[in-house]
Amino acid sequence: MSSPTLARAPRRAIFEAEHEDYRESFSKFLAAEVVPFTEQWERDQVVPRSLFQKAAGHGFLAMEVPEQYGGPGVSDWRFNVILGEEMARSGVGAAFAGPLLHTDVCLPYIMASADDAQRDRWLPEIAAGEKILAIAMTEPGTGSDLAAIKTRAVREGDDFIVNGQKTFITNGVNADLVIVAARTSEDKHGGLSLIVLERGMDGFERGRQIEKLGQHASDTTELFFNDVRVPAANLLGAEGSGFLQLVSRLVPERLTLATSSIAGAECALEMTLAYVKERKAFGKPIGSFQHSRFTLAELHTRVTITRCFVDRCIERYVDGTCTVAEAAMAKYWTTDLLCDVTDAGVQLHGGYGYTTEYPIGKAWVDARITKIYAGTNEIMKELIGRTLGL
């Protein structure tokens, strides 16, 4: 069942009129180019590559790429926020997760660290959606511990020889350029480097497509590197700078997840409120029972307060003052909240909540992973705890 039409949220103080115009355009794009095909893409467990090109053509992909390379040259991160929020409100978060990862997670590494030659080689096709990006950090035995990465890149003349394995790689099927975190020395933190592997390199193989519980339209795979010879010209930034590059991008990555999670929680709450006002039991709407009112009052309060904090984090990130701890708080709090809201929504929908007839069930299944990726919520609490001197 398709998602219901939701009321447009009022304009928030952190956005200008141009942002709301962009929001409206993107919402229309999703309605025309994504929503009608999402069910098929869920079954396929991958979106077509043409989606990236269509998004680029409408100004919804790789907006940060400068005009000289064929991009819009827009560096205002609030436009990226709008992409995540509208994906959630349209109920197609997994279907547009690939283009958002390309734009909001992977591209900034290229923009921050690529030299002029790399920019000339990669940016025009990245901007056009013709070369799709992925980033490969997670390994079967490392999880959230970046310092434990075992994939190796050994220098041999003008090349690196890369060996190792990565897992849970979003865009793993579609990706043409994969930013790989690999160990170039034994130094725990200073021994990591970022190297860009390209589709078609000998020894670069894609493994099975991982069968996930939810978010099926977002392709997720294993990657294998068997003596892959990669030109040293594909080293992104200085050798040994990988750990610092990765850490520098964790704040916006976690805020990206926080912004889509609070938007998803608002959407799920709105769907549930609409349902309990219409569904009757014992001759009256189920929303009129005290337990339902108290549950929804509590969730409404938590969502409203959380929205204020997330908007403050967005504002602080835009002006360069959002801290690692604040991003960690936003990530763990919003994803916990999203799971709580969708779980309550399923319960209040009764048996229908556990079917595919109502979108709340899909929202519930898709929400669960958010407490795990971009650093587990347990890791977020550990980071916050360290700032307290604990």
What is the distance, to the nearest Å, from the Cα of residue 322 to the centroid of all Cα atoms in its chain?
19
- Look at residue 371 and give its three-state secondary structure: helix
Dig out the tokens for 366 from the structure. 């898709």
Q: In this structure, what DSSP letter does residue 5 have?
A: P
Distance CA 223, CA 310 (A): 34
Amino acid at the residue 232:
A
- In angstroms and rounded to an integer, the radius of gyration of the C-alpha atoms of the chain is 21
CA–CA dist 34, 36 (Å, integer): 6
Catalytic residue among 33, 42, 253, 266: 253
Check if the beta carbon of residue 338 is closer than 8 Å to that of residue 264.
yes
Q: Which residues contact 386 (CB under 8 A, 6 or more apart)?
A: none
Helix/strand/coil (H, E, C) string of 331-362?
HHHHHHHHHHHHHHHHHHHHHHHHCCCCHHHH
- 211 is a catalytic site residue: no
Closest to 34 (Cα-Cα) out of 7, 11, 60: 60
Q: Is 167 left (phi over 0), alpha (psi -120 to 50) or beta?
A: beta
CB 265 within 8 A of CB 303: yes
DSSP one-letter code for 229: E
Asked whether the beta carbons of 174 and 196 are under 8 A apart, the reply is: no
Alpha helices in the chain (DSSP H): 17-33, 38-44, 50-57, 77-90, 97-100, 107-113, 116-128, 242-248, 250-278, 290-318, 324-349, 359-367, 377-387
Q: What are phi and psi of 216, to 5 degrees?
A: -70, -30
Phi, psi of 193 (to 5 degrees): -135, 160
Using an 8 Å Cβ cutoff, are 182 and 137 in contact? no
Residue whose structure tokens are 């180019």 = 33
Active-site positions read 253
